[in-house]
Amino acid sequence: MPEPLPQSTEPHQTTEEGVAAVTGSRPDERRTAPTRFGKWPLVLGLALVIALLLWLTAGELSLSALAAREHQLREWQRSMPVLVYGGALLLYVVVTGLSLPGAVPLTLVYGWFFGPCRGVLVVSFGSTGGATLAFLLSRYLLHESIERRFPVRLEQVNVALRRDGVWALLTMRLIPAIPFFVINLVMGLTAMRVWTFWWVSQLGMLPGTMVYVYAGSRVPSLATLADDGIGAVFSRGQRTQILIAFVLLGLFPWLVKLLVRLVRGPATDAARSTSISE
């Protein structure tokens, strides 16, 4: 009967360690080496594209040229209101529904272009429409991936909903302790109805929408800036309006927290804030 082969006393080598012994490099080094400079070509390429676009559009970026474009857009707004307002609404729905960056600057631009009243209507329905789109995508298409990515948030939201009902969502909209896009995605995994999510979000986001749109509406038109220069932004009346806008932006979260404490009571609000923001 053949004798068994002697067992090696050396520690077992994995495949990666064996390759490392041959190549003289560690596995982690081989993984990171190809990507060590991988981001730089992308950054340089993007910088070159931006520089090229700025060079090609140098004449179009002057205040006078932009003021002419603004005049053309406002003419379209008067002659084709359905197209302009519908396109603006659709753009806002896409940006917020797909959680793309730029919602706040877009809100300010809409306030500047459409004015406070019409700007609030477009942004309010656009943001709620985008939030509902993200809600539906999370519920019917991205359920498993969202559940894996935000398990803690999902548990916190479910606890808050069981305790406070729709008031939990309303408070989260008024006091953004959780990012806007996370609320939309996580709420899609709860048992909340689509209609309830829509009207509570519409109501809860309205005060913040009004503040941001008002801030954007206080910026002078480009035609005024082209004629009077940058000093038009800091004229006496303009300074007062911009100061009011910034004060509202700064005080709004604190005012909402005070309102929540008055309505719900300080103990309930403290418990809710702790459970949601942790």
Is residue 164 within 8 A of residue 171, CB to CB? The reply is yes
Mean pLDDT for the stretch of residues 2-30: 46
Task: Name the most confidently modeled range: 9-23, 71-85, 150-164, 192-206.
Answer: 192-206
pLDDT at position 188: 92
Chain-centroid distance, C-alpha 5: 65
pLDDT band at 62 (very low <50, low <70, confident <90, very high): low
Q: What pLDDT digit, counting tens, does each position of 201-252 carry?
A: 999 899 889 988 988 888 777 766 666 655 555 566 667 777 777 777 677 7
Instruction: Read off the pLDDT band of 93 (50, 70, 90).
Output: very high
pLDDT single digits (tens) 120-171: 999 999 999 999 999 999 999 988 888 888 888 888 888 988 888 888 898 8
More confidently predicted of 123 and 28:
123
Q: What is the mean pLDDT of the chain?
A: 75
Q: Mean pLDDT lowest for which of 32-36, 96-100, 110-114, 223-227?
A: 32-36
- Residue 88 has a pLDDT of 93
Which of 27-41, 44-58, 74-88, 243-257: highest mean pLDDT? 74-88
> What mean pLDDT do residues 90-101 have?
92
- Residue 9's pLDDT is what? 46
Report pLDDT for 209.
92
**So what's the pLDDT on residue 146?**
87
Examine the pLDDT at 184 and tell me if it is beyond 70. yes
**What pLDDT is attached to residue 133?**
95
CB 27 within 8 A of CB 17: yes
The answer to which of 34-38, 191-195, 249-253 has the lowest mean pLDDT is 34-38
pTM exceeding the 0.75 threshold for the entire prediction: no
Helices of type H across the chain? 15-23, 27-32, 39-56, 63-79, 81-97, 103-114, 116-140, 143-149, 151-164, 166-174, 180-187, 194-217, 222-228, 236-264, 266-277
Give me the phi and psi of 177, to 5 degrees please. -70, -25
**Mean per-residue pLDDT for 184-208?**
93
pLDDT at 70 over 70: yes
Question: Would you state the structure tokens that stand for residue 39, as one six-digit string?
Answer: 């981001």
Residue 51 confidence class, pLDDT cut points 50, 70, 90: low
CA 49 to chain centroid: 25
Give the 3-state secondary structure of residue 56.
Answer: helix
pLDDT-based confidence at 105, cuts 50/70/90?
A: confident
Query: Rounded to the nearest 10 degrees, how much is the dihedral formed by the CA atoms of 44, 46, 47, 49?
Result: 120
